[in-house]
Structure formats: structure tokens, C-alpha cells
Amino acid sequence: MRKIPPLHISLFASACASLLLAACSHAPTTPAAAPAPSTVVVPAEVSTAPSTVILVSVDGLRATTIGTGVMPTVDAIAASGVHAAWLTPSYPTQTFPNHYTLVTGLRPDHHGIVHNHMRDAVLGNFVSKGTSALDGRWWGGEPIWVTLQKQGGIAATMFWPGSEAEIAGQRPRYYMTYNKQMPANARVDKVLAWLDLPAAQRPGLVTLYFENYDVAAHATGADSEESINALKTVDVALARLRDGLHSRGLDASTDLIVVSDHGMITVRSEDVRYLDDLVPANSIQVIHTGPLAGLNPKRGHVQQVEKVLLGRHDHYECWRKQDLPARWQYGHNPRVPAILCQADPGWRVVMHGMPESTQRSGEHSYAPEAPEMRATFVATGPDFIDGTQLPAFDNVEVYPLLARLLHITPAANDGSVDPLLPALRDASP
């Protein structure tokens, strides 16, 4: 598997910024493409044709939820299909960085989506739910839908960070403009409608995204009644998807993978620490706050700010970005702020006068090794060995897995399919 050397990060980011085109249209495009790979029922142990691959994300779904009975459909996939102990998210444990890592196999430091909110010297400010996310110049690397379509396949995305932007000159053949009001069942019905298309128009890859639990948990806590009900709503939608595949005779030719981007933890409003209790607010440019705070000292204040902030504090620790723990593989991209302050699980680092930073009841964005941040991976389908239990693995491995299932050559990435080979019927190198 080809890798991107850490020393080439800046060159990588610059190359991506110059090559990728801005996304100017919200309407689905229809680039010329060869017919989609055939979707067939394969009686043999090993298929010579790619299955249809559906990648589902349940935003914020903790690994510990599996097996509790809250999501019986997901539990059934885990019990009869493939179930990893957990999926280790990339740093930082946020929605946009990790969703894009899942589909590129690149660490956020390499693909450039280093935070939900970030700043670029040329492009300005990025806001995950803003129009800036439609600008393809932010998005480095090659998402799996581009990889597939470059090699003659067809992709469809029912919401996924990055899928509305034109990346490497392409968007998915079929995609939807993100609409959080679209019910979970309606999203499934749209996916099934794509799979009902004639073979020459049918996507070989479909992504499906559910934010229900993440939204509820942020508002009311990780284990609140509202959050549990959100998980149940998503599980009902997944049951609808599986029933729809079965009724169409597609379950025997479809690989279904359910993942999450990170975990979730309940927090208290009083468990906060304030940066401007230590340094004057006018001495720093704050890029983001919360469980992970990022800031740039203003000119003339670098030594003052570093002297006070760097090191361990009560419930958080601050580093120069280049000095972050090596295990996080983060901090060399020019979009990462100069100083990062990582809070302990359950705590937040904020500024006075930012009340919105303390109003959430559930949070993520903590260190990936925190047990509460562990994400989910379960899968089933003709390419997987039933009843396989896997040890934990990093989420950069999902992209090479997708490429293997789709029988395409992956782009350069930071992952390897090796940890998943014990779960695959065709485990040959």
C-alpha cells in the first residue's frame, strides 16, 4: 500500500490546494463513466466481480453500544457478520476530519480537513456546515467515490462530508445536498431507489449518513432518553435498508458496512477551564475551543503566551503543534493552529464570553485513546466471513478495504487492508 511520508505533508497540502477545483454547483453532475460493475449473486466462496458496497455512518455511535440491545439491527450484523472490538478514530476526534479519513484513508494532517472549524492562509475560514465546505480546494486526497469513478465505476452519496464539493474534478454521479431535516427512512428509500436503477446506471458504491444520535447527544447527553431514541430511529432505518435489499434479492450481492466517526461522552457545564484566565484575550487569535482548543499567539506575544500556556494545566494540556504526542500523527499541516490545548475527557477549554461553548451536554473531540471516543465497525455481505471478531484497528484502514471490495486500485493513503484480511473470504495479498 502506498504511503504519504510525514515529511511531505506541506507539499501534499499545497499540491491538493492547487489541483482541486472549487465546487460551484449544488446540482448532481453526470460525468461520463463506464457502466457500473455488475451486481450479481455469487454462489462461490470468492467472487470475481465486485459486490455493491454500502457504507453507513452513524455519527457518534460508541463501540460499547453494540450488543446492548438498543440497536437490534446493528447487533444482528455484529453477531452474524464481522465485528471489530472498536474502530480507533483519527485525531482530532471530530465529524468532518474523521468522515473524510474514512473515505480517503488519509490522516487529517494529510488530507487537510484538520478540524470542523479551521483557517487557511489563502482560503480563509472553513466552517463545516457553511458554504466553505462546498469549495473543493479545502479537500485533499482522493475520496473513494473519485477513486471508483476514475476507474469506470459509479458512486452515490446520501450525505457525506466532502461529497458536495468537486474534488479532483469530480463529484459522485449521484449525490444529495445535505438536509438534516430529511428523515432517516427517506434517506434509505433514496438509496434503494438508486439500487433500482438499470445495471448500467446503478452505483457500485453508496454512502449513507445519519447524524441523529450525534445531534441528540450534544444537546441532551450521551445516554439521555432522547439520545437512545435517536439510536432506535437509526436502527429502524437500517432494518428498512436490510429488508429492502432482501426484497430485491440484493442482500447476497451487497457488502454492508456500518461505522462511526468517533464516540461520545456526557459533560457538565461547570467542567470548563478558560484560556483568558491565563493569557489576555487580545494576545491570541482563537481558532476553535471546546474539548480541543486551538489558537495562534498574536505578533509580539508569542513568548508570553507560550511561557504561560505550554505544559500541563488543571484538566488540560497545551503543546506547540509540532510537539503534540507522536501517536496522534497530527500537527504538521499549515492549517493546524500554532498551539493546541487538549482537555481531559469530560472537560472543555474555552474563552469567557463564549457561552455557546459550554451549553452542550455531550461531547467528543477528546484523545483517540480515550475509551469513550472508540468508534464502531460492523459488516456483513458476500465478501465477509460470517461470525468474525476482529481486534481494534485504525479508521485509515477502511478506505483500502473499500477499494478491495470494489476491485479497484486505491490512491495513495495511510492505511492497509491487512488488519481486515482475517474477515475477508478472499484474503490473498
Under DSSP, is residue 285 helix (H, G, I), strand (E, B) or coil?
strand
Residues 249 and 315 occupy one common structural domain: no
Phi, psi (rounded to 5 degrees) for 107? -65, 150
Provide the phi-psi class of 381: left if phi over 0, else alpha when psi is between -120 and 50, else beta: left
Within 10 A of 299 (CB to CB), how many other CB atoms are there?
A: 8
Q: 332, 359, 386: which is the final residue of a domain?
A: 359
Note whether residue 429 is domain-resident: no
Residue 375 above 70 pLDDT?
Answer: yes
Residues 22-41, mean pLDDT to the nearest whole number? 34
- The radius of gyration of the chain from alpha carbons, rounded to an integer in Å, stands at 21
Q: Quote the CA–CA distance of 114 and 140 in Å, as a whole number.
A: 11
Task: Give the confidence band of 6 by pLDDT, cuts at 50, 70, 90.
Answer: very low
Report the percent of the chain where pLDDT is more than 90. 85
Report the percent of the chain where pLDDT is more than 70. 87
Q: 330, 359, 388: which is the final residue of a domain?
A: 359
Note whether residue 21 is domain-resident: yes
What CATH number corresponds to the domain at position 181? 3.40.720.10
Residues 193 and 80 occupy one common structural domain: yes
Q: Quote the CA–CA distance of 49 and 254 in Å, as a whole number.
A: 12
Note whether residue 202 is domain-resident: yes
Residues 38 and 140 occupy one common structural domain: yes
Residues 64 and 138 occupy one common structural domain: yes
Lowest mean pLDDT among 48-57, 100-109, 232-241: 48-57
Note whether residue 366 is domain-resident: no
Q: What is the pLDDT of residue 429?
A: 66
Note whether residue 47 is domain-resident: yes
**Residue scoring higher pLDDT (11 or 135):** 135
What letter would DSSP give residue 167? Answer: B
Q: Quote the CA–CA distance of 190 and 95 in Å, as a whole number.
A: 23
Q: What is the pLDDT of residue 69?
A: 98
Residues 85-99, mean pLDDT to the nearest whole number? 98
Q: With contact defined as beta carbons under 8 Å apart, do 88 and 107 qualify?
A: no
The residue among 54, 50, 55 whose CA lies nearest residue 36 is 50
Provide the phi-psi class of 351: left if phi over 0, else alpha when psi is between -120 and 50, else beta: beta
Residues 276 and 326 occupy one common structural domain: yes
Note whether residue 364 is domain-resident: no
Number of domains the chain is built from: 2
Residues 111 and 160 occupy one common structural domain: yes
Residues 242 and 315 occupy one common structural domain: no
Residues 107 and 251 occupy one common structural domain: yes
Rounded (10°) CA dihedral 240, 246, 250, 252: 120
Task: Give the confidence band of 427 by pLDDT, cuts at 50, 70, 90.
Answer: confident
Note whether residue 428 is domain-resident: no
Task: Give the confidence band of 9 by pLDDT, cuts at 50, 70, 90.
Answer: very low
What CATH number corresponds to the domain at position 333? 3.30.1360.180
Q: What is the pLDDT of residue 204?
A: 98
Catalytic annotation, residues: 95
Residues 259 and 399 occupy one common structural domain: yes
Residues 399-424, mean pLDDT to the nearest whole number? 98
Q: 359, 387, 407: which is the final residue of a domain?
A: 359
Residues 204 and 341 occupy one common structural domain: no
Note whether residue 365 is domain-resident: no
Q: With contact defined as beta carbons under 8 Å apart, do 371 and 85 qualify?
A: no
Average pLDDT, the chain: 90
Residues 49 and 129 occupy one common structural domain: yes
Residues 163 and 281 occupy one common structural domain: no
How much is the pTM? 0.88
Task: Give the confidence band of 256 by pLDDT, cuts at 50, 70, 90.
Answer: very high
Domain that holds residue 326: 272-359
Q: With contact defined as beta carbons under 8 Å apart, do 210 and 184 qualify?
A: yes
